[in-house]
Amino acid sequence: INKQNEQMHALLAIALTMYPMRIDESIHLQLREKYGDKMLRMQKGDAQVYEELFSYACPKFLSPVVPNYDNVHPNYHKEPFLQQLKVFADEVQQQAQLSTIRSFLKLYTTMPVAKLAGFLDLTEQEFRIQLLVFKHKMKNLVWTSGISALDGEFQSASEVDFYIDKDMIHIADTKVARRYGDFFIRQIHKFEEVRPGQES
């Protein structure tokens, strides 16, 4: 169970690096303790760390095809894993610029496309493609009602949203205000659990 817990934390570290969002404070502290340095390296674009954590934490993959027993090469059992690792590495590569784009979008409310493309050393066309990738990757299907989990609507998972009007990017901050009340209630409950032991 402990190894599965470690694997889930590793996958969560990958997910939060690629798609930053708010999570429970206690889980966030555990992640920072265990994977703080690796998360920092992943944020800087270190593909080696992504592959290391994915290799450690990913489920075991099986080939849906029976191997050719007449000509079996020694590492045939690793092929499904290596294929999944390659697909994952390609996905990480596609999203390499997204955290930088997100950082710039948080700083401004409006900005010319050409200027922001210049900051990232991209042509306007390449930057527009990256913006579309950002929009696409930051959308989640959220269940609203109905029988199927697919009965929902797409919502942005990012703290920032934007639209392009001619050659201007208009940016809106969609960040939800932190709920400090929940934090204080948890701390009060922890204090009440500790306090009876101190009185005796």
Q: Is 102 helix (H, G, I), strand (E, B) or coil?
A: helix
Q: The pTM is what?
A: 0.66
Beta partners for residue 140, in sequence order: 155
Average the pLDDT over 80-93 and give the result.
Answer: 89
Burial class (CB in 10 A: 0-12, 13-18, 19+), 135: middle
Nearest to 20 by CA among 89, 106, 127, 141: 106
The domains of the chain are located at 1-96, 97-200
pLDDT, tens digit (0-9, with 9 covering 90-100), for 70-83: 777 777 778 888 88
* Cβ neighbours, 10 Å, residue 56: 12
3-state secondary structure of 156: strand
Give me the half-sphere count of Cα atoms (radius 13 Å) on the Cβ side of residue 111: 18
What is the spatial distance between Cα 169 and Cα 101, in angstroms, rounded to a whole number?
12
Task: Answer yes or no: is pLDDT of 53 > 80.
Answer: yes
Q: Are strands 168-173 and 139-143 parallel, antiparallel or unpaired?
A: unpaired
- 86-113 mean pLDDT: 86
Token couple for 36: 């703080």
Task: Work out the percent of the chain whose per-residue pLDDT is above 70.
Answer: 92
Q: What is the mean pLDDT of residues 130-156?
A: 78
Output the six-digit token pair for 122: 């991209």
* Mean pLDDT calculated for residue range 104-125: 89
Mean pLDDT of 147-174: 79
Q: Over the stretch 5-52, which tens digit does the pLDDT of each residue have?
A: 899 999 999 988 888 777 888 899 999 999 999 999 998 888 899 999
Instruction: List beta partners, residue 163.
Output: 170
Rounded to 10°, the helix 79-94/47-57 angle is: 140
